Structure 1
């Protein structure tokens, strides 16, 4: 069970802190809209087709297979471009996979080859402790695959249950950090603006809400950090002693807060946690998240005041931290409506080694140079589509142990990012090795960039366009909710025809 929603002792914002920096435009000056540059080109080669809303792509220690989580509730095993089986099926314990609900994240224990444990984030019907007026229950569970091939569903051990007020802003990413602890993203509870039912009052009075700025009443709008191998104070998990609120006023699971909808995140080769946070109505942002950081929502959206002409740069828990990059919803070469977090590339794509490769739900693929406090951003051109963008909206990225990058698209296909025709991959000895527990040579095995049988990722249908893009929820994931519902409906109909 998650913590109760009853209010603990409120945090007070001292007058000195409030007066410490009231400004309309915050932190680093955002890039001018005409300064974004065109970046390298890539090719999208299909790896596997026919999936149902693929939202997560993972590899497991000790296995050469790929594991793709479908929003509809299954984790599919992919080998040599073919779905060879189902690793996990939680459809019987989920709420209907609509909008941003469903099977949303999966992470393999670093010692999976020895213990067979895997961690899964999914949306369940309202459980005990979730108010009747709320949408559903956030569930984080541990499962075991005794034979390392298929999960035994009876092994489920629930770690977290969090009441979710609305159906959107569910985040979903889970990942083990270099420290061996599990990091879990939570959205602000949904709706729009971090206000309304299920959104508590915070220290900031200029706008209503919200969960993003609260650390005492619930675990929403945050990055959590837990020890899955430990137990603390009767919890089914441990609390790392160096979590920032241990011994302070607040819930000990928090690692960082002030987030709206951290849909996807990853750890860079140097250990930095890079979190893409979906914006409200004007800006998308990417943050380098550190211990105890407050990333501004709903005081700010990106580097801008949200809902007020001026706003503070400080909070009761410390400074409001600027994102390392932002981009607008319109008016720039790099624009879109829902940021999709990617990876700092450690593979062999020309011009992209060491770059943070990410994208937008409908805006395309981008790359940023991860240096300093303001990462310059470039648009990537896809060479084998008609308009230089992915052939359907982007849902997630993946990475294999050799550093190859993959894009999961709403058309049910997972693509490998490859060099354009005529370009050769970067030699392996020109890369910086990144040793991991299950890859001690740092991924120096040769990454295959062969073309998938059947050709390339050509466009077979018109690109979807985003109707509106703001109002109400305000983010592209309002559009995502509609689109995924259509995708899931079509997939279900196709499945019924073949069963």
Structure 2
């Protein structure tokens, strides 16, 4: 049901900024809680780094606004198949827009508005992520993550159904339909928030899927199972057997049948996933996460930003089988307790984040982390090798950090001196095949109208 862009953007309501604030602990938030380098060196944490970057402390950058008029641009994918010349912007109400050498196309590239839950005002659901198959130019396969009305198998008192699906389309088309959609995975979502939604293909060719803890406060309440940590009731983040919530999943979309081929699954599971052959769900790659808002690869390194509840925001460089602590810990700190364990009863460590920042402090601080990418471009040499990210409340600044031997890494604040029409509130980042960065923003905290923009990060 493809309407014109002008007609849609003139009538669509904004939804994401308020939703983001609520899910991530922003005050008054809707009634909820609170391209691989060839010359890389390695730190003691085996994180790829670069010796070519400059001092970040005096760096100032600007936005070059490429397109505007979005409701809530929560993701941008820039496939290598088109040498970075096509940028696909995910707008939360259910549409993907194409920006190319002609500008922003008049009609949506893909319209799934009739399959996504109705969103408006404060809402964290919607179309949340897209990933193009590494061989998209040949096979036309793309993958989507969205919130659907409750499907069969989702309890009647739950909010909605998490859907991961696949389309096969004409790779050269500038508009496509959803007629070929095939559902790969459904997860019952007990509450409306903490939906995560990022998708990314790793250098191993497998698809990585970020899944939030099911919503609500403290990882407890409706739809949250009991875990091993008795100090708090519930804990999807610490449970690996009952559901897939609070985790990063890793699946093989180029095969079917789970691990053995005997299971009725429309995807395969890599036999080196950490829980294969052990107690737990085979799809899980890492866990102990609350609301992993955006993930990205830099070579073999998987960066996952996890939104805190009320005190700490964090970024993890995720490894297979890593337990990142929620809801025992928030960042590297005990959650709602003066003391807490540093490992599970089985002796598996709770992994510290590589960087964190508080909600209230001088210097880097905020309320809701927005995960980004490591910069690998040529236009901003001083930024080379730094992980660039933001806080939803950034207000004309970004953050950057370079890998270092000890944790947490130092964080630099980078002013955005010229917004060029781009909004102040960052929602997502993208990186093109040349390593240059793009920023999706909104200029309206009220999440109304058409304040969303796609911007390219430029030197001042």
Who is 1:32 aligned against? none
- Aligned in 2, Cα 1:61/1:38: closer, same or farther, shift over 3 Å? closer
Who is 1:262 aligned against? 292
Q: 1:24-74, CA deviations, whole angstroms, 9 ceiling, x for partnerless residues? A: xxxxxxxxxxxxx84511111111111121111111243221111100111
Is 1:380 matched with 2:442? no
Query: Residue 440 of structure 2 contacts residue 453 of structure 2 at CA under 8 Å; is this kept in 1?
Result: yes
Who is 1:367 aligned against? 400
Is 1:91 matched with 2:89? no
- Measure, in 1, the Cα distance between the counterparts of 2:156 and 2:162: 14
Who is 1:144 aligned against? 168
Q: How far is 1:390 from its partner?
A: 7.0
Q: 1:88-132, CA deviations, whole angstroms, 9 ceiling, x for partnerless residues? A: 111111111241100000000001001000000000000001011
Is 1:75 matched with 2:96? yes
- Measure, in 1, the Cα distance between the counterparts of 2:267 and 2:119: 27
Query: SS in structure 2 opposite 1:113?
Result: helix
Q: How do 1:232-271 residues align onto structure 2 when only pairs under 5 Å count? A: 232=257, 233-269=263-299, 271=300
Is 1:206 matched with 2:231? yes
Query: Residue 64 of structure 2 contacts residue 419 of structure 2 at CA under 8 Å; is this kept in 1?
Result: no
Unaligned runs of 5+ residues in structure 1 are 1-36, 421-499
Query: Residue 422 of structure 2 contacts residue 454 of structure 2 at CA under 8 Å; is this kept in 1?
Result: no
- Aligned in 2, Cα 1:153/1:357: closer, same or farther, shift over 3 Å? same
| Count of residue correspondences | 382
Q: Which moved more, 1:75-84 or 1:257-266?
A: 75-84
- Aligned in 2, Cα 1:333/1:247: closer, same or farther, shift over 3 Å? same
- Measure, in 1, the Cα distance between the counterparts of 2:232 and 2:138: 50
Who is 2:150 aligned against? 126
Q: 1:234-261, CA deviations, whole angstroms, 9 ceiling, x for partnerless residues? A: 1010010000000000000000000000
- Measure, in 1, the Cα distance between the counterparts of 2:323 and 2:365: 25
Is 1:307 matched with 2:336? yes
Q: 1:374-428, CA deviations, whole angstroms, 9 ceiling, x for partnerless residues? A: 2111000112259xx97421100011111111110023111111000xxxxxxxx
Query: Residue 358 of structure 1 contacts residue 366 of structure 1 at CA under 8 Å; is this kept in 2?
Result: yes
Q: Which moved more, 1:337-346 or 1:377-386?
A: 377-386
Query: Residue 136 of structure 2 contacts residue 171 of structure 2 at CA under 8 Å; is this kept in 1?
Result: no
- Measure, in 2, the Cα distance between the counterparts of 1:189 and 1:283: 19
> Could you say which structure has the larger radius of gyration?
1
- Measure, in 2, the Cα distance between the counterparts of 1:230 and 1:395: 33
Who is 1:113 aligned against? 137
Query: Residue 169 of structure 1 contacts residue 260 of structure 1 at CA under 8 Å; is this kept in 2?
Result: yes
Query: Residue 52 of structure 1 contacts residue 412 of structure 1 at CA under 8 Å; is this kept in 2?
Result: yes
Query: SS in structure 2 opposite 1:255?
Result: strand
- Measure, in 2, the Cα distance between the counterparts of 1:136 and 1:103: 13
Who is 1:352 aligned against? 383
Query: Residue 39 of structure 1 contacts residue 379 of structure 1 at CA under 8 Å; is this kept in 2?
Result: no
- Measure, in 2, the Cα distance between the counterparts of 1:408 and 1:399: 11
- Measure, in 1, the Cα distance between the counterparts of 2:390 and 2:171: 36
Q: 1:76-98, CA deviations, whole angstroms, 9 ceiling, x for partnerless residues? A: 01013721142211111111124
Q: Which moved more, 1:75-84 or 1:249-258?
A: 75-84
Q: How far is 1:228 from its partner?
A: 0.4
- Aligned in 2, Cα 1:341/1:311: closer, same or farther, shift over 3 Å? same
Query: Residue 195 of structure 1 contacts residue 210 of structure 1 at CA under 8 Å; is this kept in 2?
Result: yes
Q: CA RMSD in A?
A: 1.7
| TM-score normalised per structure 1 | 0.74
- Measure, in 1, the Cα distance between the counterparts of 2:453 and 2:422: 11
Query: SS in structure 1 opposite 2:382?
Result: coil
Q: Which moved more, 1:410-419 or 1:390-399?
A: 390-399
Q: How far is 1:307 from its partner?
A: 1.1
Query: Residue 370 of structure 2 contacts residue 389 of structure 2 at CA under 8 Å; is this kept in 1?
Result: yes
Is 1:396 matched with 2:428? yes
Who is 1:324 aligned against? 354
Who is 2:324 aligned against? 295
- Measure, in 2, the Cα distance between the counterparts of 1:190 and 1:391: 27
Who is 2:64 aligned against? 45
Who is 2:306 aligned against? 277
Q: 1:152-203, CA deviations, whole angstroms, 9 ceiling, x for partnerless residues? A: 3121110110000111000000000000000000000001110100000000
Unaligned runs of 5+ residues in structure 2 are 1-55, 258-262, 443-450
